[in-house]
């Protein structure tokens, strides 16, 4: 065995001539039993004729049987954890002789885990102010607001205008027309041209507005374009939000008064910020863990990580209604741009796996059951059917790995030394 570099290994393998000959005889008999040769019943043709007619195929099948078996045998002997498909190099084989070749592959790296308890990380528990609570309650109040129609009059700042829009020229060759669009005059998200066009206009009147959309605008057909619209005001409305009183509290759920609402909102904000702060701290701990350890990462793992990232992105695009069949990927450029991040992600994953193994962190059946039940509720499908499908497509094992990863991150966080962020000092 010879170590090339990093995780790459080469095995120099020799298969004795008698072993090769025995395997060829097995294949000859197998072919002989099925071969249809004129003048002979199946299985009765002389072996010499079988060899003459099918020797190329026989040699190939014999090698396909022998090579993987001997690679596996040598890897077991050397106690190697192979993580990539072996590549056969320098194959030498002549009739009646031994087979000699080299097998090149990658193995899992040996990781000597350093002390992971007591890692230092910046973290501070969230402090929720009354202003934070007020802001969230006002957001809820705004979400419960209703539009009230106003008798015809000139539109003014703050009004919500129900309008129809019609482009005065084609966009990508087609006119654009939209009805019942709500535009608030002077609103924070309203284009200034729309505000100027609608201010002082009465229902039934039309004006023109020229809009230049930003390059990063969500609608791709409008991004970066300048479009001139005919804007017709149909109805003026005012947005009326409910009063913050006990009736409002009861409408929100199992609350009797606003004090109970405020307390629940405070808890919700705390949970959100605590989750965000802990997630950030855990990411920092993983970065620190990676920086502490140096070991080679198998390129096979890196390739798999890049493919997984791309597939995930394609699934997101497909879910958004994008025709992914029209997306052309330059795999070489993609590999080059993603390789550093993928390599670091793989390294972090290997380290977390090592921590889990060292600290005996595992997933329980109860945790798996709870995850399957959660997914079943989300999909509104029977639990048994969801579990069967997850076992079939491999997502059950992936769910188990996610649980172990989360428990490992919790372990690192719980045993870390939390330091106040520099800004807090």
Residues 42 and 22 in one domain: yes
**Token reading at 395:** 């997502």
pLDDT of residue 50: 78
How far is it, in rounded angstroms, from Cα 410 to Cα 408?
5
Q: What is the domain-level CATH number for residue 364? A: 1.10.3120.10
Max distance between CA atoms of the chain, in angstroms, equals: 105
Whether residue 219 is contained in a domain is answered as yes
What pLDDT digit, counting tens, does each position of 206-229 carry?
Answer: 999 999 999 888 887 888 889 999
Residues 390 and 296 in one domain: yes
pLDDT of residue 219: 80
- Higher pLDDT: 169 or 132? It is 132
- Higher pLDDT: 265 or 174? It is 265
- The stretch 118-127 carries a mean pLDDT of 92
pLDDT of residue 330: 77
Whether residue 406 is contained in a domain is answered as yes
Residues 265 and 409 in one domain: yes
pLDDT of residue 316: 82
pTM of the model: 0.74
Average the pLDDT over each of 97-101, 115-119, 138-142, 315-319 and give the range with the smallest value: 315-319
| DSSP state string for 180-249 | EEEEETT-TTS-HHHHHHHTT--TT-EEEEEEE--TT-SSTTTTT-EEEEEEEEEEEEEEEPPPSSHHHH
**Token reading at 287:** 């970065």
Residues 261 and 364 in one domain: yes
Sign of the CA dihedral running 35, 41, 43, 49: negative
Whether residue 69 is contained in a domain is answered as yes
CB–CB of 162/172 below 8 Å?
no
Whether residue 136 is contained in a domain is answered as no
Mean of the per-residue pLDDT values of the chain:
89
Residues 295 and 405 in one domain: yes
Whether residue 114 is contained in a domain is answered as no
Whether residue 364 is contained in a domain is answered as yes
Residues 277 and 400 in one domain: yes
- The stretch 195-214 carries a mean pLDDT of 93
Residues 332 and 395 in one domain: yes
**Token reading at 16:** 């004795």
pLDDT of residue 423: 59
- The stretch 139-155 carries a mean pLDDT of 92
Question: Is the per-residue pLDDT at 44 higher than 80?
Answer: no
pLDDT of residue 334: 78
What pLDDT digit, counting tens, does each position of 365-379 carry?
Answer: 999 999 999 999 999
Residues 389 and 297 in one domain: yes
**401 contact partners, CB below 8 Å, separation of at least 6:** none
Residues 280 and 332 in one domain: yes
User: What percent of the chain shows pLDDT beyond 70?
Assistant: 98
Question: Is the per-residue pLDDT at 156 higher than 70?
Answer: yes
Single residue among 184, 215, 240 that ends a domain in this structure: 240
How far is it, in rounded angstroms, from Cα 90 to Cα 102?
6
Whether residue 125 is contained in a domain is answered as no
Containing structural domain, residue 92: 2-106
pLDDT of residue 407: 96
Q: What is the domain-level CATH number for residue 169? A: 3.10.50.40
- Inter-residue long-range contacts of 387-396, CB under 8 Å, 24+ positions, other chains counted: 396/368, 396/372
The tokens 């048994």 sit on which residue? 384
Residues 161 and 309 in one domain: no
Residue 173 falls in which region: left (phi positive, over 0), alpha (psi -120 to 50) or beta: left
Single residue among 181, 215, 240 that ends a domain in this structure: 240
Whether residue 66 is contained in a domain is answered as yes
Q: What is the domain-level CATH number for residue 11? A: 3.30.70.1050
Single residue among 192, 213, 240 that ends a domain in this structure: 240
pLDDT of residue 205: 93
Q: How many residues does the chain have?
A: 425
Residues 210 and 284 in one domain: no
User: What percent of the chain shows pLDDT beyond 90?
Assistant: 61
What pLDDT digit, counting tens, does each position of 253-281 carry?
Answer: 999 999 999 999 999 999 999 999 999 99
**Token reading at 112:** 């000597």
Number of domains in the chain: 3
- Higher pLDDT: 204 or 317? It is 204
Question: Is the per-residue pLDDT at 102 higher than 80?
Answer: yes
The tokens 């008698």 sit on which residue? 18
Residues 337 and 385 in one domain: yes
Give the phi and the psi of residue 226 in degrees, each rounded to 5.
-110, 120
């Amino acid at each position: 065995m010879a170590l090339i570099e990093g995780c790459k290994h080469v095995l120099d393998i020799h298969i004795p001539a008698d072993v090769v000959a025995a395997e060829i005889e097995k294949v000859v008999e197998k072919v002989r039993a099925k071969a249809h040769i004129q003048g002979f019943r199946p299985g009765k043709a002389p072996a010499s004729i079988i060899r003459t007619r099918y020797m190329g195929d026989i040699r190939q099948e014999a090698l396909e049987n022998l090579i993987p078996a001997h690679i596996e045998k040598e890897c077991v002997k050397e106690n190697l954890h192979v993580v990539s498909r072996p590549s056969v190099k320098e194959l030498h084989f002549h009739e009646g002789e031994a087979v000699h070749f080299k097998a090149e592959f990658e193995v899992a790296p040996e990781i000597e885990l350093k002390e992971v308890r007591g890692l230092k990380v910046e973290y501070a528990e969230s402090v929720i102010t009354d202003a934070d609570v007020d802001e969230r309650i006002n957001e809820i109040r705004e979400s419960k607001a209703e539009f009230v129609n106003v008798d015809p009059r000139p539109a003014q700042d703050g009004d919500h205008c129900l309008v129809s829009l019609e482009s005065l020229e084609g966009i990508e060759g087609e006119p654009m027309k939209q009805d019942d669009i709500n535009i608030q005059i002077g609103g924070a998200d309203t284009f200034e041209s729309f505000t100027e066009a609608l201010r002082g206009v009465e229902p039934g009147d039309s004006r023109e507005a020229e809009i230049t959309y930003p390059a990063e605008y969500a609608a791709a057909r409008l991004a970066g374009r300048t479009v001139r619209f005919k804007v017709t005001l149909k109805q003026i409305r005012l947005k009326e939000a409910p009063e913050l009183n006990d009736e409002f509290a009861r409408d929100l759920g199992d609350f009797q008064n606003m004090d109970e609402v405020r307390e629940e909102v405070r808890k919700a904000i705390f949970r959100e910020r605590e989750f965000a702060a802990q997630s950030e701290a855990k990411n920092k701990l993983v970065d620190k863990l990676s920086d502490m350890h140096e070991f080679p990462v198998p390129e096979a793992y890196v390739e798999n990580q890049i493919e997984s990232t791309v597939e995930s992105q394609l699934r997101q695009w497909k879910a958004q209604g994008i025709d992914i069949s029209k997306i052309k990927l330059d795999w070489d450029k993609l590999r080059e741009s993603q390789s550093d991040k993928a390599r670091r992600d793989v390294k972090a994953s290997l380290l977390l796996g090592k921590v889990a193994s060292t600290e005996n962190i595992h997933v329980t059946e109860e945790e798996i059951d709870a995850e399957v039940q959660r997914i079943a509720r989300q999909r509104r499908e029977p639990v048994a059917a969801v579990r069967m499908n997850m076992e079939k497509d491999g997502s059950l094992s992936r769910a188990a790995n996610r649980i172990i990863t989360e428990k490992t991150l919790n372990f690192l966080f719980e045993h870390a030394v939390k330091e106040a962020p520099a800004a807090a000092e």
